[in-house]
Structure 1
Amino acid sequence: MTEGKRNPIIAEWLNGLSTGDRDEARVAALRATNQLNALRVSSELGVGNFPDNVLTAWAIEIVRAHRVVNQSESAFIEEARNKGWTWEQIRDRLGFQSLEVAKGRQEALALELERTQPPNIPGAYS
């Protein structure tokens, strides 16, 4: 689910939600929001039963979202370093606990991005 694009399985499930007239505004809000947020809130509120196909679609959207964030974080670190930012600045801006974690993050991101390449995650990018 990229920005502006909705997963049809999740959309269909959200469209089928109904909690009665008194909560219809809440359900309408869930349908209109980001699908990952809608699924989380639905789970927290107990407003729906999650069949396997919805759970599978949810997992796929999590993988996709992680990948986008990881790509962005990797690019940010590279740009910040190219602009002369110190590892201390990067640590502070991204909230890392230590310099060692900040310095090791690029390598960890590279490994995670390799792991989540489209051919490595069945169904995630079809």
Structure 2
Amino acid sequence: ATVALSVQNLGPALESDGVSPGQDLPLAKRVALGAFSRRYPLGPLDLGGAAQLARTGQGDIEVGGGLEIAWWPVAGRTFVGRIGGRHTGDGTASPVTFGAGFAGDRIRLDYAFQGYDSVDGAHSFGLAFR
């Protein structure tokens, strides 16, 4: 298992010249503790799990977890599907998230989606080179 602690958004507030001139926009500070299990083989697939506990700057507690399913048809090429859930307390974000990934010899591509009430959803993309 892997365990990690992260502290996010430690910088100063953002200066706003457009939406609210003269008003600074504070960053949403957050501390999170997460754990990820190693993948366990299940037939042609590997299964892994993750859990996270976070505290926002306002003192709210966020709890989340997820499942990762990996398949490698050829050595050095892995396809991954992910589904997760979290409770944020604000009610504007969907509690369910989806994702997918591909890992090749020297490259990794990742995608994630989370729905929101105010917009169609947030799409996140990641690209890593080794």
Classify the TM-score, shorter chain.
Answer: under 0.3
Structure with more of its chain in helix, by fraction: 1
Which structure has the higher relative contact order (CA within 8 Å, separation 6+)?
1
Question: What TM-score results when the alignment is normalised by the length of structure 1?
Answer: 0.24
Question: What TM-score results when the alignment is normalised by the length of structure 2?
Answer: 0.24
Structure with more of its chain in strand, by fraction: 2
**Quick check: which has more Rg, 1 or 2?**
1
